[in-house]
Structure 1
């Protein structure tokens, strides 16, 4: 009942002033009673305690997943997809009956949105929901919507309605830049499906697309499939490091961190041993991609994949990789010498440096030189502290505050999922409204957000911008949960016909240990950095407030999409930021500055060799997706590229490319990680290194880079932020300069 809700002011000060009346103030008291002496803000407290169970709600209606009423049961996916398909049919009819104009693009986007809102949600549920019935229903919904999209991609009348718009110079000139770009992106999506071709070629394009999807699925499964070997072929003393079944030893990974050289060598040679079926699958996948690209008018798959990116074409990518490799070469050789020296020290009988050595020995060097045992850092990085740090950073930099909100019954797929709302800065409000989960006495009125596609919530609202969106935090380990940290768009933002803005909904998925009765979840430095990285994606989704959902948030070129997330890693490694939140969960002591400095410098140990490895992977990806037929087998190309771009010897009878799963999702785009890091590095150094809390720089970052999503050419966004158009040499210099040691830490280390 509305009158029974607890309403009050949000913030640490309110909780401190009226502790006995503050809902989350009492929560903080419970934390202290468990031996946690630090006082947390509401968002920090919400993540530093084990959920106490849902409120007793005898009369409340069970809501569906993400507040979508139909999804209170698995059968609801059938209803949701049928509703989406009916709406899609209606929108197609409207598009085809209207004269071409700006409204054509709006209807195309609404058509895309009606299908994406089911497909994107189902894409997440099919891998993350703990109940098989929900996963299976979501999988079927994905197939159904996918089939519908394929039909739309071959709907000639629909295509012609867009073609008429873009073929009329006067109409094109009347479009604003974002609308024109979205129209061109829709046209690109049509044409890469071959709709502009004659009937026979169009049928061929459809067949190739289907074949590529099947091959991609098969290849992905094969990248994870374990290899086995008869156990008598391996020394008995290393059997314990693997799974033994009957007369075989099963190897399901590279065991890169194993201290025993023989274990790593065996894992490398067995796990990467060529599988004929997987090899044929990769060759077919690359060949079919090339055939499709040429059929729709591109000279290679890479040329097709890189249209609209920062790099624009594969020639620029290879120039970037070659220049970066040249600049790294001397540093990489020194890294290899250092790694080999450590191997010789620990294993003088077998000191030759091999590809299975760098991950382990570089870790040994880091630990020995900087004493960065993760257990020393974890007590300072409780999950609540890290969330509070993000909240502080976003508030000071972007004027955004995070609030934890109680999900409705049935809204989330697991009871430990937390829900965040992201309103703009309350400090700029003349009228403030508060959530029912806040703490403190009643200071202001309640505000009930309008019912929007099943998301009827009470939340914090800014009088001029309003609520920005919702972030569901699926942070904790559970059985059958994918072991990956990632960001999912559940619903994209867009401006609706009635003038309201459709708020974005995203999920952040991590795999953190659960808090216990006496211990909050403690993060390693790597986990903390991953949290900041994924939250960078979430903020991109929240702040990419475009008119069209087709280009909202992270729906932008791959070599730009990673910039906001990688930029957050720079904030996570800056002591001025870390000092705002890294406090010991028991004593409240701040993390000493020298520990942060050592941690940051430790990441530079052998970093040139690691970056060189990424250059090798990116170059291999480009060659595989370049000119066809390939000049040699994929394994011979691997060997040649490894010798040219990495330096450590190829190991006979191995085929690492058959485990390169990124060839599916990042085909011809693996370089994006490096280019995005280069852009993020330049943005950090130019705009935030002097003051990571600079509000003016934060507002410019939002205005120039985040706000446009994919609605603006990526290089123009970078240029707007940096006030110059960076060259390939600028990108290379930014990456290489990140490897330079910090002089202050060097002096401290030598004392």
Structure 2
């Protein structure tokens, strides 16, 4: 985001005049939880204005203090407290914008977000702060390794913001950052406001179990009209208007037997919002200009440099290696799907289309393993899945989730739950909000939102992390009909991995709290916890039939696991394709004018087994281009890291306290306070990383073994 909020912050308590005032504010946040997210100022939408005012006032006090050049330790603490104050506004506004049903709250959160981002540009171009940080980094007497690391990354982030540039160039960089923030917001809002729709007649073309998802519509039946002289009421035909937002589109592509319905939904869903074509062009151009001003060949180089990979060349070589490794098996899977379609339709010459994939792979999985998705879902009522999260923390960490009553005004919707993660010896470790069910105008995906980062306030006091998990599952938590498909269970566990990273973090500085790590490490805990959603030893602890209470049968789980592996290469190839899109759009070659749709089409033809459908522009819905610009490859890094961690540490006894202790003490609690390579090797030993051209890539062996691939690229030096 910007220098001081580099994935957020933390801080030791400042020992100077204003400290007591700040500590009282923190205590007030804890004890008088009558505003949104427990912030007393957020009792009303207008409270966001004062929330920003106080953050700016407090930060300005700290800027003045730092300008007086106190000790190195106090400079770092003060810098971190600035970041904590600002991040509280940024993170709260972001969560509110995506989830609050009250438009006035959303509008005020938008205003707060823009104001605080403008202030952040001031902070990130403040030379007094920059000089103070440079002084600290050179101080040989700074005792804490974490403080030294904080000083280094603060200095790097200041320079990443362009503070070392000439005034005219810095002004241009600042304006570009403002423009990018507006473009990202416009891109996201377009996805919500223009989801696309198609009208389907007659209603019988849509599977009955999906009817509740769509708006009934009525139109004239032309064939009846030609042969009837009756009234118009007798010739109206019922149909459905399908809104092609991602979740609904996925349901149609999986369940609609009518190929024309699937085709119409696929094309429409992958052709909106059209306005984002221009927005994306502007975003690419703005980021490229920033990179050039900063002395980089491309935005990809600018973005990847601080990460483990260190350069786009290392990322691309990693992606090409994975693509080559997976292609033969992906092609075999494609041929199997095509042959299955021909056998089912009787059309020998018919080709396999992109809108066929979900439908026919679903049928193939059901046929091979006698799977019925409704039967699977019957073992995953939402309340039982929440119990599954409780099982994980109790078994692995000896902790419990305790339900906490929400104070008036603290919640943004009646469905929201609040829990504390409590350890019998350590007390509360952090707080978790759960907002899991879909509703109108809510963020359409699933995500982990930080609200407050952890940080050490004194030798005896710690600011506990506060996070929210936001998902879009159908139904209400209070309804017995709320059941999850297994892919939704996997998604819940994925996001829970992020939450645990935040809740178990115990860094001195908020700047390194939880998920505030280098980008190509951030998705590792979330990918690791996906494994828990597939392991029968875990599932039998909580997956019970919604009406009978029967534990999920082991044979059913084995069938689910078998079905999962049927098209694993196709799934992985898709993720490689997404990462290649991300790297290419923000890469050096985009310095020339290029049509993003043609770039995506070329990459799909070259690196997947599937064709591109002319007229579609899927990238206009790929919102990972915003926050993960040139960083989507990190999901594949995480997939490899997680495969190795699971195999070496968790697979033998995934729920043991010993496994959990290792995960917590060697990895999760350190957040970004330690070098990522050290974290990974401390956790599972040598062999998890490989050096390549000055960067680091994951070892592919565990993932190859898991997918039963034979070529694993062993020619690189193992660290």
Q: How far is 1:422 from its partner?
A: 0.9
Among 482, 497, 501, the alignment partner of 2:462 is 501
Note if 1:638 corresponds to 2:600: yes
Map 1:327-476 → 2, pairs under 5 A: 327-349=325-347, 351-424=350-423, 426=424, 462=425, 465-476=426-437
Residue 580 of structure 1 deviates from its aligned partner by 1.6
> Quick one: which of 502, 518, 522 aligns to 2:483?
522
Moved more, 524-533 or 222-231: 222-231
What secondary structure is seen at the aligned counterpart in 2 of 1:649? coil
Q: How far is the alpha carbon of 1:412 from its aligned partner? A: 1.7
- Aligned match of 2:492: 531
Output one character per residue of 1:530-578: Cα deviation in whole Å (capped at 9) or x when no partner: 2222221111111111111111011122322211111111111111111
Matched, 1:652 2:600: no
Deviation at 1:190, TM superposition (A): 1.6
The match for 1:594 among 549, 555, 573 is 555
Please give the alpha-carbon distance, in whole angstroms, between the structure 2 residues aligned to 1:284 and 1:525: 38
Q: Give ranges in structure 1 of 5+ residues lacking alignment.
A: 1-59, 427-461, 742-751
Q: Which residue of 600, 611, 634 corresponds with 2:572?
A: 611
Q: CA deviation at 1:413?
A: 2.1
TM-score after normalising by structure 1? 0.79
Q: Counterpart of 2:211?
A: none
The SS at the match of 2:443 is coil
In structure 2, the partner of 1:220 is 188
Aligned twin of 2:587: 626
Measure the CA separation in 2 of the matches of 1:538 and 1:423: 14
| 2-structure distance, mates of 1:216, 1:534 | 23
Tell me the distance in 2 between the aligned counterparts of 1:188 and 1:239: 58
Q: CA deviation at 1:205?
A: 0.9
Shift in Å, 1:732: 2.8
Distance 1:106 1:523 in 2: 44
* CA separation of 1:249 and 1:616: change in aligned 2, threshold 3 A: same
Q: Is the 8 A contact 2:527 2:642 kept in 1?
A: yes
> Residues 544 and 709 of structure 1 are in contact (CA less than 8 Å); yes or no, is this contact kept in structure 2?
yes
Counterparts in 2 of 1:115-264, with a 5 A limit?
A: 115-166=86-137, 168=138, 171-172=139-140, 174-223=142-191, 226=194, 252-253=244-245, 255-257=252-254, 258-264=256-262
Scaled by the length of structure 2, the TM-score of the pair is 0.82
Q: What is the rounded CA distance, in whole Å, between the counterparts of 1:108 and 1:62 in structure 2?
A: 27
Check whether the contact 2:198–2:244 (CA below 8 A) recurs between aligned residues.
no
CA contact (8 A) 1:122 1:141 kept: yes
Residues 315 and 88 of structure 1: is their aligned pair in 2 closer, same or farther, counting only changes over 3 Å? same
Contact 1:397 1:698 in 2 (8 A): yes
In structure 2, what is the equivalent of residue 667 of structure 1?
629
- 8 Å CA contact 1:323–1:732 kept in 2: the answer is no
2:513 corresponds to 1:545? no
SS in structure 2 opposite 1:380? coil
SS at match of 2:34: coil
CA spacing shift, 1:178–1:297, aligned 2, 3 Å: farther
Distance 1:270 1:133, change over 3 A: closer
Q: Given the superposition, is the C-alpha separation of residues 635 and 523 from structure 1 closer, same or farther in structure 2, using an over 3 Å criterion?
A: closer
Provide Cα deviations, 1:61-86, integer angstroms capped at 9, x if missing partner. Answer: 98222332222222322222222111
Work out the CA distance in 1 between the residues paired with 2:456 and 2:219: 61
Task: Check conservation: 2:34, 2:410, Cα contact below 8 A.
Answer: yes
Q: Structure 2 vs 1, CA of residues 215 and 140 (structure 1 numbering), >3 Å: closer, same or farther?
A: closer
Matched, 1:110 2:81: yes
Deviation at residue 172 of structure 1 after TM alignment:
4.7
Higher relative contact order (CA 8 A, sep 6+): 1
Q: 2:195 & 2:669 partners in 1: Cα distance? A: 47
Q: Aligned in 2, Cα 1:369/1:715: closer, same or farther, shift over 3 Å? A: same
1:719 equivalent in structure 2: 681
Aligned-residue offset at 1:654? 3.2
Residue 449 of structure 2 aligns to a residue whose secondary structure is: strand
Counterpart contact for 2:476–2:482, Cα < 8 Å: yes
Do the aligned residues in 2 keep the contact of 1:226 with 1:271 (CA within 8 Å)? Answer: no
In structure 2, the CA distance between the partners of 1:197 and 1:399, relative to structure 1 (3 Å rule), is same
1:667 CA drift (Å): 0.9
Question: Residue 192 of structure 1 contacts residue 293 of structure 1 at CA under 8 Å; is this kept in 2?
Answer: no
Among 537, 540, 546, the alignment partner of 1:576 is 537
Alignment correspondent of 2:294: 296
Q: Does structure 2 conserve the Cα–Cα contact (< 8 Å) formed by 1:239 and 1:249? A: no
Distance in 1 between residues matched to 2:653 and 2:323, nearest whole Å: 32
Q: Give the Å deviation of 1:632.
A: 4.4
Counterpart contact for 2:197–2:244, Cα < 8 Å: no
Aligned partners of 1:272 and 1:656 also within 8 Å: yes
> More displaced, 713-722 or 214-223?
214-223
Of the three residues 647, 666, 674, the one matched with 1:685 is 647
For residues 79-115 of structure 1, the C-alpha deviation after alignment (integer angstroms, 9 at most, x for no partner) is 2222211111101101111245122111100000011
| CA deviation vs aligned residue, 1:702-734 (integer Å, no higher than 9, x gap) | 112101111222222111112115245863333
CA contact 1:251–1:270 (8 Å) conserved in 2: no
**Structure 1: how far apart are the matches of 2:197 and 2:451?**
43
- Cα distance in 2, alignment partners of residues 523 and 228 from structure 1: 25
CA offset at residue 228 of structure 1? 7.5
CA contact (8 A) 2:454 2:507 kept: yes
Query: What secondary structure, in the 3-state scheme, does the structure 1 residue paired with 2:450 have?
Result: strand
User: How far apart are residue 371 of structure 1 and its match?
Assistant: 2.3
> Could you tell me whether the CA contact under 8 Å between 1:65 and 1:411 is conserved in 2?
yes
* Aligned with 2:38 (options 67, 78, 86): 67
TM-fit CA distance, 1:660? 2.5
Residues 388-437 of structure 1 show CA distances to partners (whole Å, capped at 9, x for unaligned) of: 3322222221121111122223322223322111112x3xxxxxxxxxxx
Contact persistence 2:299–2:586 (CA under 8 A): yes
Please give the alpha-carbon distance, in whole angstroms, between the structure 2 residues aligned to 1:539 and 1:240. Answer: 40
Q: Structure 1 residues 625, 599: CA separation in 2 closer, same or farther (over 3 Å shift)?
A: same
Kept after mapping to 2: 8 A contact 1:226/1:252: no
Q: Is the 8 A contact 1:227 1:250 kept in 2?
A: no
- The total of aligned residue pairs comes to 639
Q: Matched residue of 2:707: which SS?
A: coil
- Counterpart CA distance in 2 for 1:494 and 1:235 is 58
Where 1:422 maps in the other structure, the secondary structure is strand
- Which of 695, 700, 712 in structure 2 is aligned with 1:732? 700
Task: Give how far 1:249 is off.
Answer: 8.7
Structure 1 residues 671-680 or 302-311, which shifts more?
302-311
Q: Is the 8 A contact 1:718 1:725 kept in 2?
A: no
Q: Cα 1:377–1:270, aligned 2, differ >3 Å: closer, same or farther?
A: closer
With over 3 angstroms needed to count, the CA separation of the structure-2 counterparts of 1:630 and 1:735, relative to structure 1, is farther
